[in-house]
C-alpha cells in the first residue's frame, strides 16, 4: 500500500500518470536518471555487425561498426586526447576520433587504405578536413616514388600503382587488385556522360601504370587497344619516368573524347608522369563524388612499408 501523502508527493513532482477514463489505473512514472541500469559487461552483444545493407559499409573485410569504436574511445579518452590505431584499415577509428574531437594517428601499410580513409573523411566532414591531415610514408619526391615502385617485396609491389591511380584520381578510382593478368588495367573510374539517346549514362575511364625506365610506342598502342576493347571513353597512362617526345606523339594521335553532357573534350589517351602527380596534377574529368572505393580484400600488413597519418 502507498500512503496518500506519498501519492500527493509524487503528483506534485510530476511522477504520476492519470488514465483518460475512470476505469483506468493511476501509474507511477519512472525517469531514466532514476534508473541505475547495469554496467557494461565484458561481452558486448548489443552492437550489430555491419551487414551488406549498412549505410556505413565500405566493402572492407575487417570493417568495424562506428558505434563500437565510439564506445571504446569515449570509455578510454577525453576530448583532445590522442587515439592511435595501428593497422587502421578503412578508418573507422579515425572517423570516430575526428567526430569526438580527439587527435588521432592512423597507421597502415597500403596506400589503398590511406586513400579510403581520406575519402571517408572528406565525404563525412568536407574537403576542408583534409587540410589538417599530415601524410607520411608516401612519395613526396621522385626519389621516393622510384623507391616505392622498385620495392623488392612482392606483397607490396603494387603500392606504387595504387598511389599513382588513387592520388591522380583524387581517390575516386577503383584499383584492380590482380597482381598479374590484369589485362593492362590497373584502375578504373566512372564518368557521367550522355549516351546516344541523350540520357545520362556512365562511361569507363581506365588507368595503366608503368615503371619502365625505357618506354616504347608499343606500350601506348597496347593501352589504346585496351581502351577500345573495354569500350572505355578514355584512359590515363601513368608512368614513373618521363617518356620521350615520340611517346607523347603516339598518344596524341588518338584524338579527343567529347563529353556531351558537359560539352568538354579530353584526350582519348593522356600520359601523366609521377613528377606531374607530385607537382599536383589531378584528373580533370568529372568523376561522381559518390563513387566509392570498394575494397575487395584485406590489405596485407607488413612493418616494412607504413603509411602514417
The DSSP code sequence of 282-305 is: ---S---TT------SPPP--TTS
- How much is the average pLDDT of 248-253? 96
- How much is the average pLDDT of 191-197? 87
Give percent of the chain with pLDDT exceeding 90. Answer: 46
Question: To which H or E segment does residue 223 belong?
Answer: helix 217-229
- How much is the average pLDDT of 163-178? 88
- How much is the average pLDDT of 207-217? 93
Q: Which residue has the cell 572517423?
A: 95
CATH architecture of 109-308: 3-Layer(aba) Sandwich (3.40)
pLDDT in tens, 259-284: 988 889 999 999 999 999 999 999 99
**All CATH 3.40.1350 domain ranges in the chain, comma separated:** 109-308
In which band, very low, low, confident or very high, does the pLDDT at 297 lie, cut at 50, 70 and 90?
very low
Strands 234-239 and 200-210: parallel
User: Distance between CA 124 and CA 292 in Å, rounded?
Assistant: 13
CA neighbor of 274 nearest in space, from 84, 106, 140, 111 = 140
Mean pLDDT score across all residues of the chain: 86
pLDDT, residue 156, reads 54
Residues 6+ away with beta carbon under 8 Å from 6: none
User: Distance between CA 2 and CA 73 in Å, rounded?
Assistant: 45
CB-based burial, 177-195: b 16+ in 10 Å, e otherwise: eeeeeeebbbbbbbbbbee
Q: Are 281 and 272 in contact (CB under 8 A)?
A: yes
CB-based burial, 207-242: b 16+ in 10 Å, e otherwise: bbbbbeeebeeebbeebbebbeeeebbbbbbbbbbe
The CA distances from residue 58 to 83, 189, 228, 293, in Å, are 22, 17, 31, 8
- How much is the average pLDDT of 88-102? 93
With 90 as the cut, is the pLDDT of residue 185 above it?
A: yes
Cα dihedral: 300, 301, 303, 304 (round 10): 0
Question: To which H or E segment does residue 308 belong?
Answer: strand 307-308
User: Distance between CA 92 and CA 69 in Å, rounded?
Assistant: 7
Cβ neighbour number for residue 103 with a 10 Å cutoff: 13
User: Distance between CA 153 and CA 149 in Å, rounded?
Assistant: 11
pLDDT, residue 304, reads 34
Q: Are 115 and 293 in contact (CB under 8 A)?
A: yes
How many helices (H) and strands (E) the chain has is answered by 9, 12
Amino acid at each position: 500500500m502507498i500512503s496518500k501523502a506519498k501519492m500527493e508527493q509524487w503528483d506534485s513532482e510530476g511522477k504520476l500518470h492519470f488514465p483518460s477514463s475512470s476505469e483506468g489505473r493511476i501509474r507511477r512514472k519512472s525517469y531514466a536518471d532514476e534508473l541505475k541500469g547495469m554496467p557494461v559487461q565484458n561481452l558486448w552483444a548489443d552492437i550489430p555487425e555491419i551487414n551488406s545493407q549498412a549505410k556505413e559499409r565500405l566493402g572492407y573485410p575487417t570493417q568495424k561498426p562506428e558505434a563500437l569504436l565510439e564506445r571504446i574511445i569515449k570509455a578510454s579518452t577525453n576530448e583532445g586526447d590522442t587515439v592511435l590505431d595501428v593497422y587502421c584499415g578503412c578508418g573507422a577509428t579515425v572517423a570516430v576520433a575526428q567526430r569526438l574531437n580527439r587527435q588521432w594517428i592512423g597507421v597502415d601499410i597500403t596506400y589503398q587504405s590511406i586513400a579510403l580513409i581520406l575519402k571517408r573523411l572528406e565525404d563525412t566532414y568536407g574537403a576542408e578536413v583534409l587540410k589538417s591531415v599530415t601524410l607520411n610514408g608516401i612519395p613526396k619526391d621522385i626519389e621516393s616514388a622510384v623507391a616505392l615502385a622498385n620495392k623488392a617485396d612482392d606483397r607490396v609491389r603494387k603500392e606504387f600503382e595504387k598511389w599513382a591511380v588513387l592520388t591522380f584520381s583524387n581517390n575516386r578510382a577503383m584499383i584492380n587488385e590482380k597482381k598479374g593478368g590484369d589485362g593492362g588495367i590497373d584502375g578504373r573510374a566512372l564518368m557521367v556522360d550522355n549516351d546516344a539517346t541523350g540520357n545520362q549514362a556512365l562511361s569507363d575511364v581506365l588507368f595503366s601504370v608503368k615503371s619502365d625506365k625505357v618506354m616504347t610506342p608499343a606500350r601506348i598502342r597496347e593501352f589504346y587497344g585496351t581502351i577500345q576493347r573495354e569500350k572505355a571513353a578514355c584512359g590515363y597512362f601513368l608512368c614513373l619516368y618521363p617518356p620521350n617526345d615520340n611517346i607523347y606523339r603516339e598518344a596524341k594521335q588518338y584524338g579527343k573524347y567529347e563529353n556531351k553532357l558537359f560539352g568538354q573534350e579530353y584526350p582519348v589517351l593522356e600520359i601523366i608522369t609521377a613528377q606531374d602527380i607530385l607537382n599536383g596534377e589531378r584528373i580533370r574529368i568529372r568523376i561522381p563524388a559518390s563513387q566509392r572505393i570498394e575494397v575487395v580484400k584485406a590489405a596485407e600488413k607488413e612493418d616494412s612499408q607504413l603509411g602514417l597519418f
